[in-house]
A and B are shown apart, each in its own frame.
Chain A
Amino acid sequence: GENVEQHPSTLSVQEGDSAVIKCTYSDSASNYFPWYKQELGKRPQLIIDIRSNVGEKKDQRIAVTLNKTAKHFSLHITETQPEDSAVYFCAASTPRGGTSYGKLTFGQGTILTVHP
């Protein structure tokens, strides 16, 4: 099955700096890559996603890049703010054998802390 590795497990930055979180996946059939943000004690929420036929996508201060050949994708947050502090999860959606059903496999999560 799909395996998603996420690094780093913790990331500490100063307010205004950029933050980068990287993920690799194992199944070349994976075709949809969302990123979820989970604030302390809250539910995970989608912040950005990318499809396998797109190399890069940007939404204000966050961007995601995808390298299908290398099977890795990254989340970039610019001009970080204290409210960006949270756990960030990457995920890969993989069609299950013989079907188009997509199963989401999450990375291990990155705890991002933005210091004021």
Chain B
Amino acid sequence: DTAVSQTPKYLVTQMGNDKSIKCEQNLGHDTMYWYKQDSKKFLKIMFSYNNKELIINETVPNRFSPKSPDKAHLNLHINSLELGDSAVYFCASSPFLTSGGLRNEQFFGPGTRLTVL
């Protein structure tokens, strides 16, 4: 019954490895996001997709590659993991992309805590 789900919840890996995080939403939303939350709790947007189309790419290193097979799924693949990639990664979805000043609540997934050793 979970609205936005992510797997895995925890990910511990060595530097240089490649890993993926999966996200699914069952809210029928058009827009999905990936956020990174660092150790100081700062939430920063990484990517935004609308109906499988990449809309926002916030100067994230190209080691990070999002993929949206359909509008209910947005996965994140990370190549050549580095120590600085350690963080909590949140997937989120919202009804639409345009703000227009309207309520556009973002529903967050439970987060994936990535630890790079």
Contact = CB atoms under 8 A, between A and B. Distances in A.
Interface string A72-116: 000000000000000101000111100111111110110100000
B103 A102 contact: no
A89 to B, nearest CB: 6
B99 interface: yes
A101 B97 contact: yes
B18 interface: no
A107 to B, nearest CB: 9
A49 B110 contact: no
A104 B48 CA distance: 10
B99 A106 contact: no
A43 B45 CA distance: 15
A49 B99 CA distance: 13
A7 interface: no
Contact of A44 (B42, B43, B45): B43
A89 B43 contact: yes
B106 A104 contact: yes
Task: Please tell me the size bucket of the interface on B.
Answer: 20 to 34
A101 B108 contact: no
B102 A32 contact: yes
A31 interface: yes
Interface string A15-53: 000000000000000011010001000111110010111
Task: Please tell me the size bucket of the interface on A.
Answer: 20 to 34
A32 B43 contact: no
Interface string B75-104: 000000000000000100000011111111
B27 interface: no
B117 interface: no
B88 to A, nearest CB: 9
18 contacts: A32-B99, A34-B106, A38-B41, A42-B110, A46-B105, A46-B106, A51-B103, A87-B41, A93-B99, A100-B100, A102-B99, A103-B48, A104-B106, A106-B42, A106-B44, A108-B40, A108-B41, A108-B42
